[in-house]
Chain A
Amino acid sequence: MSHLSEEQEKALKILSELKDSQLLSHLNSCVHCGLCAESCMYYLATNDERFVPAVKVALVSSIYQRYCSFTGRSFPQLVNARELDDATQNEMVDLLFGSCTLCGRCTMHCSIGVDITYVTKVGRSMLAAMGLVPATLQSTVNAALQTGNNMAIPTDDFISTISWLEDELRDEVNDPQASIPLNQAGANVLYTLNPREPKFFPLSISAMAKIFYAAKESWTLSTHMYDVTNYAYFSCNFEEAALIAQRLYAEVENLQARRCVLAECGHGSRAFRWEAPNYLQHPFSFDVLTSVELLAEYIRDGRIRLDKEKNREIVTLHDPCNLVREGGIIDEQRYVLSHAATTLIEMTPHGVDNFCCGGGGGQLAMSEYGDRRMKIAELKADQIRRTGASTVVTPCHNCVDQLMQINNKFKLDVNIKTLGEIVADALVLE
């Protein structure tokens, strides 16, 4: 056996020190039927067999065999066991980071239920242990760890932006008492943001502020910790992911909010609502819900009134993978849209089988693979074009950005909105 570095030993411990049989079941069960191939956007867009999801599972499995099984240690060639050398590591980075959006579509299509996305994430966590996370992705994680938000926005810039938006809100609703509260203890709702909203795209903040105003909600933002994202979920460094999740957890408790409402952010919802109890090893002491569910609740309970005639253009809906496939939030956004717009034309496929925007899994941050990202985006562009829609709604800021690029590159000439924005456009103020 060749000499292994300390980092490699740490990576291999992820495979050898198992708490249960979950990983082994998924590593050993693939029957190589190949059905996953046509579920994967990378394979569909390129016909390159390296991108078949089963190949990614086989890669992680081959390392497991080499270091953790008797046959693989003694007769590696019998079980396709592979050394964890430079070539293997480069291939892992290229396949697990560079050609997967963690969209989970392959897992849905697997004939025997192998959780391929989970295996991919285990492989990514090995790379994280070896310091092999692509630099652009790690840079976004570092910004969050060092500054408290993933775009390194200074607090005074954040506060002046919110104050500017508050002035605009007062003009918009013609009420000098309208507000965007900051750091108010004991509010019903602590609302979070994706940092790209205050930095570059604040229309979605204005939209939600207007909706909260109409619903007469008791709500607040925190200036200390408002970032809904957790890019360490993508890098699969679970210690860093836990640090980021803990900050938001602590801030909800600090401000004694009853509910933490997650901004329209697919991975952020996944990383906090569904993963944070695992990262932190304890349950939540407060309610956590996505803003998609909150909007549906406001409509159902009559807390806001909408006039869908205000949105008469043809609308289609892009489902963020982390909300629909991973989180099971499928009907809520459709219920909201049925009240906010007159005509929804669904994409084919949609809902749990929808294609990723192409920018998931950290791809949007990873410039290293920008060409591939825009190559697989052709599938999404075709889907949108076939609906004939002039507006694409998606409850995820990451998807919004990728859709903006798709719109520009493939000349779709559509408007792209968050769910909150189209709801705010349909609001009827009492």
Chain B
Amino acid sequence: MPIMEIEGRVFEVDGDGFLSDPHLWNEDVARLIAQHDGITEMNEKHWAIVKFIRQNWEEKGLAPMIRSICQTTGIKLREIYQLFPLGPARGACRVAGLPKPDGCV
């Protein structure tokens, strides 16, 4: 099992750096993963996106559609791509502690 070490903390992850055990997630972990992707500070918009993704996954077992993320948070699509340069899947879903979604992401 690959591991990811950020600031002295060690996490078991899959080969793409997604948490092996999504239940280990908390806001500190989210900050650390974000840092790993070069997001030095999580602002309000980052949190709004990540918390909505996390909540959707906890309730429905799936990452939400980008439409729901935009409409729930009120953040424009292009801005989401700027906030998470790796995109909603490898960027935001990873920070939210989800398993890697299937498909071309």
Contact = CB atoms under 8 A, between A and B. Distances in A.
A70 interface: no
Among B17, B70, B105, max chain A CB count under 10 A is at: B105
A143 B104 contact: no
B66 A408 contact: no
Given A195-B103, A408-B86, A157 B65 contact: yes
A404 B87 contact: yes
A370 interface: yes
Interface string A390-429: 0000000110010011011000000000000000000000
A366 B14 CA distance: 10
Chain A contact-residue range equals 35 or more
Interface in A199-224: 199-203
A419 to B, nearest CB: 16
A200 B88 contact: yes
Contacts of A364: 104-105
A229 B86 CA distance: 21
B92 to A, nearest CB: 9
Interface residues of B, number: 30
A397 B87 CA distance: 13
A198 B65 contact: yes
A139 interface: yes
Interface string B70-84: 110000011000000
A221 to B, nearest CB: 15
A366 B17 CA distance: 12
A204 to B, nearest CB: 12
Interface of A: 136, 139-140, 143, 150-153, 157, 160-161, 164, 194-196, 198-203, 229, 265, 364-371, 397-398, 401, 404-405, 407-408
A contact patch SS: helix
A336 to B, nearest CB: 22
A200 B87 contact: yes
Contact of A200 (B15, B38, B66): B66
A194 B103 CA distance: 9
Contacts of B2: 371
Contact of A152 (B38, B62, B70, B90): B62
B32 interface: no
Interface of B: 2, 14-18, 37-38, 62-63, 65-68, 70-71, 77-78, 85-90, 100-105
B102 A229 contact: no
Contacts of A152: 62, 102
Given A203-B77, A370-B15, A365 B67 contact: no
Contacts of A153: 65
Given A157-B65, A370-B15, A164 B104 contact: no
Contacts of A164: 67, 70-71
A398 B89 CA distance: 13
A371 B15 contact: yes
A102 B103 CA distance: 17
A161 B65 contact: yes
A160 B2 CA distance: 38
A367 B103 contact: no
Contacts of B86: 404-405, 408
B18 A367 contact: yes
Contacts of B14: 136, 367, 370
B15 A160 contact: no
Nearest to B69: A200
Given A367-B16, A370-B15, A408-B38, A151 B77 contact: no
A90 B65 CA distance: 37
A194 B104 contact: yes
B93 to A, nearest CB: 9
Contact of B104 (A203, A370, A398): A398
B100 A136 contact: yes
A202 B103 contact: no
Contact of A199 (B17, B70, B78, B103): B103
